[in-house]
Structure 1
Amino acid sequence: MRLFLLAFLVAVPSWGQIEVKDPEEVRPLPQVKGVGAPDTGKPAADKYIENTPRASSAPTNYSSGSRDHYMAVHLGYGIDSTAYEWGDKAKVDDPARLEGGVTYRIGEWINSMDLLFRAELMSFKLYEDEEKPVKLSVMPIVTFPDSNSRFPLYFGAGLGLGVFFKQLEEESALSIDLQLLAGVRFFEVFENTGFFIETGLKNHLHLLSDGQLNAVYFSGGAIFTF
């Protein structure tokens, strides 16, 4: 009986042993990531860089799509003007007459100035028996402060080209036009409609002749925002 028990005790430990013939066959069990555990190390850094928005390097000083655009229509009159070498006389007083035009804002320098385009018809009367000249003036104009500030006062300057539909004989049909201006504007007085008044200096030089005009003008009209 004692021999039987001794043999049993020696045989039992050998049942739990596993024979390993090749050490390479034994591989560690894969690590199981806990639920909700954050990524760490290089994968986490790569993921952060991919999800981080890149800042734009483009300049933002100029914009052509501000929240408000506006178009203004106006009528005006030359209240004090003088023409030199325009026609037969060396000097003619008060030749500037009625004028009217359209101004449209095409862009802005943010929190600074507006860029406008103005097209304007102007009429003149130099001599009683001569044909009355009529000119179309087109020019870009820079005004400040920008209209989005809603500041009522504004100032500006423009340089453009004048084309005469009617002109005195032997006078240039083209001119270089210069304008300096100042005004008061009120936006959205009635829904999207406001009004403005403006005054300033106008000068034109004939390209193909000696004619010149200096004028002070006064105008007013409506402003439509959209």
Structure 2
Amino acid sequence: MFSHKAWGQGDSAQRPRVGKSAAARYFAERNRTSEKTSDEDESDRRPGSSTSPSNAARYLGLHLGTYLDEDVYKWGANSNKNVGKLNVGVSYRMGEWVKSMDLLLRVDFSTFEFKEGRALKMSMLPLVSFPDAKSGFPLYFGGGAGVGVFFKQVRDESSLSFDYQVVTGLRLFNLIGMTGLTLEAGLKNHVLLLSDGQYNGVFVALGSVFNF
């Protein structure tokens, strides 16, 4: 009889716990586990949680450069040479297309020197570059087109232009905190809209890029 009673107690100890109280404990434990996993995932997605460029939804680039070579057609006197001088600008990443390309807004300021005087132009254009910044690949290629406005222009020349650029560059993110480095080269061209002038310039620029 003693052995039968002991066997019954052992069977009771091994019997799985069921009932409302057991179910409540099970769901409470599962909710705690789910909340912990959700918090960890949210922390991984937080912009400041990593220095990887893949976590940066936006970036802002600043560049300073100059023109190395050029062709000038019917803009100013025919004897003008090496008119392209300083180029400075900003590029802002507005979005991404199909996880393959970035859409940027670029604003450039360029100075030109002629025998007749100086010219100052602002270019504003959308620019597509690939691969996208989130890929982390350091090299990129791109192109864009937009409008140019001359704040100062050679006499009797158009104050509006059609601008287009083709660029290639090196982009290194997060070298110091959220600040990186860019090196870019390519073509920056324009066609004057209200006169016959045209300019084709080869440029190189050095800059910085900021993730946020």
1:124-155 deviation per Cα after TM superposition (whole angstroms, max 9, x unaligned)? 0121xx22000000000000000000100000
CA contact (8 A) 2:121 2:151 kept: yes
Match of 1:224?
210
Match of 1:120?
108
Mapping 1:168-207, distance limit 5 Å = 168-207=154-193
Mapping 1:1-226, distance limit 5 Å = 67-89=56-78, 92-127=80-115, 130-226=116-212
Find the aligned partners of 1:102 and 1:67 in 2 and give their Cα distance. Answer: 18
Give the letter aligned to residue 97 of structure 1.
K
RMSD, aligned α-carbons: 1.5
Q: Decide whether aligned partners of structure 1 residues 72 and 179 sit closer, same or farther in structure 2, where only a CA change above 3 A counts.
A: same
Q: Decide whether aligned partners of structure 1 residues 224 and 67 sit closer, same or farther in structure 2, where only a CA change above 3 A counts.
A: closer
Give unmatched runs, 5+ long, in structure 1.
Answer: 1-34, 37-65
Give the letter aligned to residue 104 of structure 2.
L
Shift of 1:92: 3.3
1:9-52 deviation per Cα after TM superposition (whole angstroms, max 9, x unaligned)? xxxxxxxxxxxxxxxxxxxxxxxxxx99xxxxxxxxxxxxxxxx
TM-score norm. by structure 2 comes to 0.73
Find the aligned partners of 1:112 and 1:119 in 2 and give their Cα distance. Answer: 23
Higher relative contact order (CA 8 A, sep 6+): 2
Give the letter aligned to residue 102 of structure 1.
V
Find the aligned partners of 1:167 and 1:103 in 2 and give their Cα distance. Answer: 24
CA contact (8 A) 2:56 2:211 kept: no
CA contact (8 A) 1:131 1:166 kept: no
Shift of 1:67: 4.4
Find the aligned partners of 2:65 and 2:137 in 1 and give their Cα distance. Answer: 23
Give unmatched runs, 5+ long, in structure 2.
Answer: 1-18, 21-54
SS at match of 1:148: helix
Q: Which runs of 4+ in 1 moved over 3 A?
A: none
Find the aligned partners of 2:178 and 2:149 in 1 and give their Cα distance. Answer: 33
Shift of 1:87: 1.6
Larger Rg: 1
CA contact (8 A) 1:157 1:181 kept: yes
Q: What percent of counterpart residues are identical?
A: 46
Q: Decide whether aligned partners of structure 1 residues 74 and 67 sit closer, same or farther in structure 2, where only a CA change above 3 A counts.
A: closer
Match of 1:39?
none
Shift of 1:68: 2.3
